[in-house]
């Protein structure tokens, strides 16, 4: 186990009464004039935004609204929010929605203290040491942004999507009511489950050997998603399944599933190779939902890199899917690993996720465009489990153009083998 620093200052209010708690909790914490950031209308139509506003104004908090955050939020929205905070002298930011809304709110909260253009922080990797206090009301469990030290913003003009990290903008509060997720479309639910699974895998495959306690947390979270993901697709109002998935989403990305796996104290575990590859896809093709892109990229990344550490993938096969090689020969080891990777992709597909980039209309001719901005963002070589150069990345993109055909097992014994 490597040395690590773990910091999680977020105060959680979880359950059916979480929204009602917002006003009293935020008022007691000193929120007086808040910018309320939300998406493209679903929180209005569902009545959640009115609940939030009622709770906050009832506690004496003045509100200024800014709606319209899209998936893969563009920096232009962040600039608008920063201008509004400065003009109205607001002291806090409240995000109502999913990861895109929360990331936009985070960027506003730390961007307000930067004298130049907020995109500089992303493009140049500038340190972030100060941010307005942030509260979140989660309606789309997926990104885990409600408690993470991560923020990802797109720049349409440059065709880029860049993430930054910093404990200064971890939310002070997260209000989590699983009932607010009942109305999510199945595709959004599935993309969210996939994103959570990927957050855990990015840390699990970090290039470090076994860390027993952290690995146990990670594999338990993945098994929970495999168990409860299909339940919420079948019954969107299954409260227990929704609650478990919502809590996994937070635990998947607040760094607890990576403690002791990072290469330096305070650094996030993992090389985030699949996320890096996918961010270029959803930067250039903004209609691609991040989780859906990961459903395609991550299994193909696994297929490409597993020979770098077969033992790690054997642990994954055993502890997540119960798959063991029939003997210790290289062929049996390869078969067990490849079956586990297929099971991973087929789990995503069973939820309604795509299996190839071609389903988004992406073709061979688009790969060089993706590579061009990938190299600008990640450099000529990136990753931790098995560092990738641009030729490696090209090959993973090419593999991701091909649809995956699910395995059909003749017998239960053959499947177990």
What is the tens place of the pLDDT at every residue in 330-366?
Answer: 999 999 999 999 999 999 999 999 999 999 999 999 9
* Res. 263 pLDDT band, cuts 50 70 90: confident
In this prediction, residue 310 carries a pLDDT of 96
- The domains of the chain are located at 11-181, 186-416
The mean pLDDT value for 144-150 works out to 92
Tokens representing residue 281 in the block: 């896809």
Q: How many CB atoms lie within 10 A of CB 381?
A: 12
Asked which of 20-34, 134-148, 257-271 is least confident by mean pLDDT, the reply is: 257-271
Q: What torsion do the CA atoms of 377, 158, 146, 1 make, to the nearest 10 degrees?
A: 0
Tokens representing residue 189 in the block: 């639910």
The mean pLDDT value for 9-19 works out to 95
**Please, which residues have CB within 8 angstroms of residue 116's CB and are 6 or more apart in sequence?**
none
The mean pLDDT value for 3-27 works out to 93
pLDDT over 70 at 416, yes or no: no
pLDDT over 70 at 415, yes or no: no
Give percent of the chain with pLDDT exceeding 70. 97
Residue-averaged pLDDT of the chain: 93
- pLDDT tens-digit map of 77-125: 999 999 999 999 999 999 999 999 999 999 999 999 999 999 999 999 9
pLDDT over 90 at 7, yes or no: no
- pLDDT tens-digit map of 276-287: 999 999 999 989
pTM metric for this prediction:
0.90
**Please, which residues have CB within 8 angstroms of residue 336's CB and are 6 or more apart in sequence?**
314, 317, 323, 324, 325, 326
What CATH number is given for 11-181 in this structure?
Answer: 3.40.50.1970
In this prediction, residue 409 carries a pLDDT of 52
Superfamily assignment of 186-416 in CATH? Answer: Dehydroquinate synthase-like - alpha domain (1.20.1090.10)
The mean pLDDT value for 16-37 works out to 96
In this prediction, residue 412 carries a pLDDT of 45
Query: In whole angstroms, what is the distance from residue 313 CA to residue 291 CA?
Result: 22
* Res. 411 pLDDT band, cuts 50 70 90: very low
Cα separations (Å) of 306 from 67, 250, 292, 386?
43, 27, 22, 9
The single residue listed with the structure tokens 């070589």 is 381
Q: Pick the residue with more confidence: 106 or 143?
A: 106
Give percent of the chain with pLDDT exceeding 90. 87
The mean pLDDT value for 30-37 works out to 97
In this prediction, residue 41 carries a pLDDT of 80
Q: Pick the residue with more confidence: 197 or 40?
A: 197
**Please, which residues have CB within 8 angstroms of residue 206's CB and are 6 or more apart in sequence?**
258, 261, 262, 263, 269, 270, 271, 384, 385
The mean pLDDT value for 250-271 works out to 87
pLDDT over 90 at 262, yes or no: no
Helix %, strand %, coil % for the chain, to 5?
55, 10, 35
- pLDDT tens-digit map of 303-314: 999 999 999 999
Asked which of 138-142, 309-313, 370-374 is least confident by mean pLDDT, the reply is: 138-142
Query: In whole angstroms, what is the distance from residue 138 CA to residue 156 CA?
Result: 26
pLDDT over 80 at 30, yes or no: yes
- pLDDT tens-digit map of 201-211: 999 998 788 99
In this prediction, residue 417 carries a pLDDT of 46
Cα 377 versus chain centre, distance: 18
Phi and psi at 217, nearest 5°, equal -65, -50
In this prediction, residue 410 carries a pLDDT of 45
b vs e for 269-279, b when ≥16 Cβ sit within 10 Å of the residue's Cβ? bbbbbbbbbbb
């Amino acid at each position: 186990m490597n040395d690590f620093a773990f910091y999680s200052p977020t105060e959680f209010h979880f359950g059916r009464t979480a929204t009602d708690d917002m006003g009293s909790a935020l008022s007691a914490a000193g929120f007086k004039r808040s910018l309320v950031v939300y998406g493209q209308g679903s929180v209005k139509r569902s009545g959640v935004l009115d609940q939030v506003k009622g709770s906050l104004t009832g506690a004496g908090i003045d509100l200024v609204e800014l709606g319209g955050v899209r998936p893969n939020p563009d920096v232009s929205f962040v600039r608008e929010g920063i201008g509004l905070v400065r003009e109205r002298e607001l002291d806090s930011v409240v995000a109502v929605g999913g990861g895109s809304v929360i990331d936009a709110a985070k960027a506003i909260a730390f961007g307000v203290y930067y004298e130049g253009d907020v995109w500089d922080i992303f493009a140049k990797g500038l340190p972030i040491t100060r941010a307005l206090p942030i509260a979140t009301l989660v309606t789309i469990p997926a990104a885990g942004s409600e408690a993470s030290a991560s923020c990802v913003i797109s720049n349409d003009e440059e065709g880029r999507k860049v993430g930054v990290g910093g404990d200064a903008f971890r939310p002070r509060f997260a209000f989590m009511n699983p009932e607010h997720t009942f109305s999510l479309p199945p595709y959004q639910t599935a993309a969210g489950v996939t994103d959570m699974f990927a957050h855990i895998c990015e840390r699990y495959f970090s290039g470090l050997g076994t860390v027993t306690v952290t690995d146990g947390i990670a594999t338990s979270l993945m098994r929970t998603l495999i168990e409860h993901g299909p339940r919420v697709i079948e019954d969107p109002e299954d409260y227990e399944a929704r609650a478990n998935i919502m809590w996994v989403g937070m635990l998947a990305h607040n760094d607890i599933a990576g403690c002791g796996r990072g290469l330096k104290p305070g650094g996030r575990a993992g090389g985030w190779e699949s996320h890096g590859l996918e961010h270029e896809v959803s930067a250039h093709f903004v209609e691609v939902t991040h989780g859906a892109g990961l459903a395609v990229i991550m299994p193909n990344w696994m297929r490409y890199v597993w020979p770098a550490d077969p033992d790690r993938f054997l642990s994954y096969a055993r502890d997540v899917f119960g798959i063991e090689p029939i003997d210790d020969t290289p062929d049996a080891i390869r078969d067990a690993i490849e079956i586990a990777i297929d099971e991973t992709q087929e789990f995503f597909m069973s939820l309604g996720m795509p299996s190839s980039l071609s389903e988004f209309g992406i073709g061979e001719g688009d790969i060089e465009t993706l590579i061009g901005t990938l190299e600008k963002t990640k450099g000529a070589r990136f990753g931790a489990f098995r560092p990738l150069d641009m030729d490696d990345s090209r090959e993973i993109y090419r593999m991701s153009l091909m649809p995956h055909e699910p395995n059909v097992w003749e017998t239960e014994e053959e499947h177990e083998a």
